[in-house]
Structures are given as C-alpha cells and as structure tokens.
Structure 1
Amino acid sequence: MLWTILLVLLLLIWIRYKRFGSVYKTDIQLNGKTFLITGGSSGLGKATAIEIAKRGARVIIASRGEEKGQKSVGEIKLKSGNSHVYYMKLDLSDLDDVRRFVQEFIEKEERLDCLVNNAGVISSMMSQNGHGEMLSINVLGPFLLTNLLLPVLKETSFQNPVRIVNVASDVYLMAELDLSNLDVTLGENATMRNVLAQYGATKLMVIYITTELNKRLRANDPQCNGITAYALHPGTVGSTTLGAGYSHKSKFHTFMRFLTFALTSRPPFYCCQTVLYCCMEDGLQSGGYYADMKLNDLWPHAKDPTVARKLWDRLEHMTGLY
C-alpha cells in the first residue's frame, strides 16, 4: 500500500511539473503590435499564435503548406476571438523563397514588433538548395530571414521596443559543432543517433546566432538598442510534425521514439509558455537563454565568442548575405 501511495504521488508530481508545467500569467495587451511566427500552422507555433492573438496583436503565421496554413488561420481566429490573423507562404528550406517572402512582407506590412523563429524539423532529407533540410529550416532560413527583416525591425524600434525570439532546445547540451562541416550529409540510411546529433547541432547554432546577434546589434548600431533577442528551450513538444522528415528504419526505434515522447513531452499550450514569456516579459537579458520562464546559464561549449563570430561569418557566406 505504501509503495502504491508513493507511486501515485510521484505520478501526480510528474503530471504537474513535467507533463504540464507552469503557465505564464500577465495582463499585457498587444493591440497595435504585429507578430510574425514561423511554423505557426501547427504545434508550438500555432499554440503561440493563439495566445498572442488573444491579447489583441496582429498575427502573421508563415509556413510552407498553404492549405494547412489557411486552415490554421481559421482555427486561431476562432480560438482567440481575434480576426487579425493572417497566413503568408514561406519555405525556409529555400533561400530564394525566404528573399521573396521578405519582399512581400515589407510591401504589405508597416511594422514588425516581434519575430518568433519557431519553425524546426528533425530530418535526414536534403533541401532543393543542396543543403540538409534540417540545417536549412532550423538555421540557414531563419538566419537569412532575421537579417533581411532587420530594417523593418529597426524602423519599428523607433516607436517601441521590438524582440526577436528564437526557439532552440536543451538538446544543444549533447551537441558538438564542427565549423568546417556544418552541413552534415545524413541520407536515408542515417541512424537515429546521427540525426539527433545533427538536430542538437542546429539548436546549438541557434543559441550562438542569438548571442552573436545581440552583440552585433549593440556594437554596430547604437540605434538598435530597442531590439532585443532571446533563445529558449520550450520543452519537448507533443507534436507529430517535428520528425516528419525522418522515417525510422526499425520497429525498436519507432517504439523508443514513442516512449520518449510519451514520458517527456508536453502539450503545445504548456510548451509555448516560455515563448510567451520571452515575447512579453519586461526586464529580460537580451542574448539570454531561457527555459521554464527562467534565465539559464549556458554550458561552456555554447558560449565561446570566437565560435560565435566564426559561425556568423560562415552563415553569412552560406546564405549569400556577403
């Protein structure tokens, strides 16, 4: 009987703090502000879009599946009660499409108060640009998107502070970064271990991009004081889309993936709480890394300024910025 009681207590604790977690509570309203959320048609991105829209913001979700995106707009409007929700097509795996998207965005929108780089995949496939799809969608596309949108972000910052929020992951803890070979070729026969290692590397890059962006904004242009940038770990999202680009070759791997997600994942609503926190909370540390709505100290291999600078320069070359 005692063991049964202990097990029940442990289960209740797990459900409260791990399976669900804390909820960000604020009275902040976002009327008059424009949010751009990549990957906003499903999972974490859609949950974030719903909560932001509830607070009155103009919300634009961007993803590559137009039919799904338009359907999600309807769902977000219905759940939020906000009619100012829109869809724009964006394929982050295609750098030319990123450039097209930015041009269209600038033509249509007058301001951008918050860019949420949420879209991400676990994939062993290749993009049409010849890079790994995972590197393209998780790193190259968002890097190019952010840099090309900086002029409109700067313009908006003259009126009020703006934010760049980058979704990373604690998977970075297990990752290594080889600056000479960022684009690891995985292929159809890649093992789960290799795929997850590359996924972790892309999230480590996201963290470095965030800290280096914060540094460059402050050093290169004093007018950018109104722009802040944050990276975050949302938790393991209970979504079926993240690993859509990787098919497991064995029943054991399929079972282990299911078991891992069942034990560690949270519903998107709870995972989006730290995203909301970074989008709205005052007094946050620009360039910081947040998890469970708290500032986390990065491990040494994620805060080497030399690596950050070299990675930034490499990504500028790979995306054609310079």
Structure 2
Amino acid sequence: MRFNVFKFALKGYFMQKMWFNLLVSAAIAAVVGYYWLNYVKKGPIYESDKKLNGKTVLITGGNCGMGRLLAMDLAKRGARVVIASRNLEKSNKVKDEIIKESGNREVRAMQVDLEDFDSVRKFAKEFDESEKYLDYLLNNAGMVLEGMTKYGINRIFVVNYFSRFLLTNLLLDKMKKQSAERPVRIINLISDMYKYVDFDESDMTRDSSGFMGPFIMYGKADLADVRFLQNLTRKLKGYDVTAQLFNPGYIMSEGLSTYYSFRARMLSHVLIFLMGQDAYHGYQPYLKLVLDDSLVKHKGGFFNTWTHEEWLPHATKESAWEPLMRKSLEVTGLSST
C-alpha cells in the first residue's frame, strides 16, 4: 500500500514537472516568436516630414525592391528622381506609377547596363548634359551573379564595384562643382560580407563557382567598394560631398528571383526566411540615412541597418588604396581619358 502511494506521488511529481517544462517552453517560444516577428522580420518605421523640393536624386536599380520604394518616397517629398536601370520598359512603368501616386511629375527613367562600361559612359554623359544638379547619388543596384563579362572580369565585380567606380568618377566633377553651393551625398549599398574576406587582383578575373562562391565574391566586391569610398573621402576633403556605405541586411527583393543564380537564390531564401525583412521594412534605415542631416558627420562611414559601425582594420588599409585605384582606372579605361 505504501509503495503504491509512493508510486502515485512520484508519478504526479513527474507529470507536474513535465507540464511545468511544457509551459516554460511554450512561454520561451512565445517570447522568441514575438521578438522574431516584430524585431527580426519587421522593425521600426522611420518618420520624417522633410521635403526635398529642388533636389535631384539618381538611384540605380530604382525599379524594384527597396530602390523602388525609396524612389517613390523621395518623389512624394518633392525630389526630382532619376531611375537608372537596364530594363527601361520596366523603369518607365515604375516611373508612371510613381508619378500617379506621388503627384510629382519630376520623375525620369534612364537606361544603363552596369555590366557594360560603354553603357555607363553613355548614361553618365547624357545625365551630366541634361541634369543641372545631382544632390544624391544612390548606387543601389547590386547583384549576385555567376560568370564572367566580356572584359574578362567577374560579373559581380563589374556590377557591384567597377561600374560604381566608373559612374561615380564620371559624375564627380559635377558633384564637386555643385558642392560649393549645395551639399552632395553618395551612398553605396553593400553587405557586411566585407568583414569576412580579403582579395587580390586575381580574384577579379576568376568565376565565382561553387555553392558559396558567389557570396564570397560579393563580399570581395563590397570590400573593394569600401576601400574606394575611404580613398574617395580622403580626396574629397574640402568639398561638401559626403560618401557613405549602407548595409540593409537580408531583404526580400524582386531582384532575388530575377538575377541571382539558382544556388544563390536557394541560400538567400533560407537566410531571408530566418533573418530577413520585406522591402518595406528594409528600406526604413536607408530612408533615414538619406534624410537625416545629422548623419553627414560620418564621412566615409558605414551604417549597418540603423547603426553606425566602425570599420574593421583590414577594410581601411591605406596600403591597398593606390593599387586598387590603379587597377580600377585600368579596368574601366579611365586611365586613358
């Protein structure tokens, strides 16, 4: 009899413990789920009543994803917005949508293929001759691609670094002259993959093969972009031109299904499901960086979503600046102009 009572009490104890553990696990899961849904998958909304009447914004890749949302937002604030992308037909449709929703007719679509330096040159010449000002240069377009270009350079390096380098330099005189009367901002989108890689010139001339190859090459191109803007910031001393870099984090974009390689898409979809945001929440810190004048003090700075971060030492290695500059001038043909 005593044994049965003891057995019953022991069973009750374990049952209580099991239910207690289940309740604790459920509570933890609820807290984690709430945090995941509200702070990982979503995030803060940036609010500002700042107007941009009279300002000109050039945004590459402004016909999809965050670029499209940012173009719409800036047009609603009165800015003249120039959307530059390879697909002119799509950009014209987006332009019409922005004009209809914002009521601002100062929206223009222009064609540029960032895999083709001749296209970049033609675009820059047309923009320079037809637009009086350039207040914001937003190098927003970026891709994870496999393969090589006709220049014998990796496609990721051409789109994500060399074409940005070329476009920025072709428009630099315009921005420097303008800065005497009105400030200029240059913002390049990168990822935080730059933290985990380094590169040499041979990386630029090989394909990004393998499962992780395109992402590693993406980080290498980002690191080149970081070093370029650090060097550019030094050379822009005395001009009211601020160059900065921005990492939006993992963002779902139309470009993910259009331009990424199959393997890159699969990995990106997993990462975005776990840690990513939709384009609406992803562009909020981007909008803040564009509009918040107090952030201009961070010249050559890096904004990891909402937070200003110090660069890792290897990213600001001055000994790497001049070799990268020489290679960039050679690849883009600027050394002969």
Q: Offset at 1:32?
A: 0.3
The farther-off stretch of 151-160 and 34-43 is 151-160
Give identity over the alignment, percent. Answer: 34
Match 1:291 to one of 296, 304, 308: 304
Following the alignment from structure 1 to structure 2, what is the Cα–Cα distance between the partners of residues 231 and 12?
31
CA contact (8 A) 2:245 2:302 kept: yes
Normalising by structure 1, report the TM-score: 0.91
- Secondary structure of 1:236's partner? coil
- Select the residue among 199, 204, 214 that pairs with 1:177: 199
Say which of 58, 65, 74 aligns to 1:36: 58
CA contact (8 A) 1:234 1:273 kept: no
Alignment of 1:121-132 (within 5 A): 121-132=143-154
> What displacement does 1:216 show?
1.1
Contact 2:302 2:308 survives alignment (8 Å): yes
Instruction: Determine whether 1:282 maps to 2:293.
Output: yes
Match for residue 45 of structure 1 among 67, 71, 80: 67
Higher mean C-alpha deviation, range 85-94 or range 269-278: 269-278
Instruction: For 1:216, give the aligned amino acid.
Output: K
Q: SS state of the match for residue 266, structure 1?
A: coil
What is aligned with 2:140? 118
- State whether residues 143 and 260 of structure 2, in contact with CA within 8 Å, keep that contact through their aligned partners in structure 1: no
Q: Which residue of the other structure, out of 31, 45, 49, is the alignment partner of 1:23? A: 45
The correspondence for 2:251, drawn from 222, 231, 237, is 237
**What are the superposed Cα offsets for residues 205-231 of structure 1, whole Å, 9 maximum, x if unpaired?**
11111111101111xxx3x2x111101
Counterpart residue identity of residue 46, structure 2: Y
Partner letter of residue 218 of structure 2?
A: Y
- Cα 1:254–1:158 shift into 2, 3 Å: closer
- Cα distance between partner residues in 1 of 2:256 and 2:58: 20
Aligned to 2:16: none
What amino acid maps onto 1:39 in structure 2? G
Rounded to whole Å, the distance in 1 between the matches of 2:73 and 2:323 is 37
Q: Unmatched 5+ residue regions in structure 1? A: none
Of 255, 259, 276, the match for 1:265: 276
Gaps of 5+ in 2: 1-22
**How high is the TM-score relative to the length of structure 2?**
0.87
Q: Any conservation in 1 of the 2:257–2:265 contact (CA below 8 Å)?
A: no
Instruction: Tell me, yes or no, if the aligned pair for 2:112 and 2:120 is still in contact at 8 Å.
Output: yes
Task: Identify which of 210, 214, 222 aligns with 1:191.
Answer: 210
* Structure index of larger Rg: 2
**2:256, 2:265 within 8 Å by CA — same for their partners in 1?**
no
Deviations 1:167-224 (A, max 9, x none): 111121222221x32414226xx21211111011111111111111101111xxx3x2
- What is the CA RMSD across the aligned residues, in angstroms? 1.8
Q: 1:168 to 1:6 in 2, by over 3 A?
A: same
Distance 1:191 1:65 in 2: 28
Q: What secondary structure is seen at the aligned counterpart in 2 of 1:17?
A: helix
Structure 1 position 248 matched with structure 2 position 262: yes
- Secondary structure, aligned partner of 1:27: coil
Change (3 A) 1:8 1:44: same
Cα distance in 1 between the residues matched to 2:270 and 2:64: 22
Q: For 1:183, give the aligned amino acid.
A: M
Segment of structure 1 superposing worse, 32-41 or 297-306: 297-306
Evaluate the alpha carbon distance shift between residue 49 and residue 246 of structure 1 in structure 2; reply closer, same or farther with a 3 A threshold.
closer
Q: 1:200 and 2:213 equivalent? A: no
Q: CA deviation at 1:305?
A: 1.3
- Return the alpha-carbon distance in structure 1 between the equivalents of residues 267 and 116 of structure 2: 32
Equivalent residue, structure 2, for 1:217: 236
Map Cα deviations across residues 141-186 of structure 1 (whole Å, 9 max, x no partner): 11100000012212321221110011111121222221x3241422
Structure 1 residues 303 and 34: alpha-carbon distance in aligned structure 2, compared to 1, 3 A threshold: same
Of 98, 103, 106, which residue of structure 2 is paired with 1:81? 103
CA offset digits 1:85-137 (Å, max 9, x no partner): 11000111110111100111112111100100011000012223332221111
Structure 1 residues 184 and 22: alpha-carbon distance in aligned structure 2, compared to 1, 3 A threshold = farther
Of residues 123-132 and 61-70 in structure 1, the stretch that sits farther from structure 2 once superposed is 123-132
Q: Which moved more, 1:258-267 or 1:88-97?
A: 258-267
Out of 107, 110, 114, which is 2:129 matched to? 107
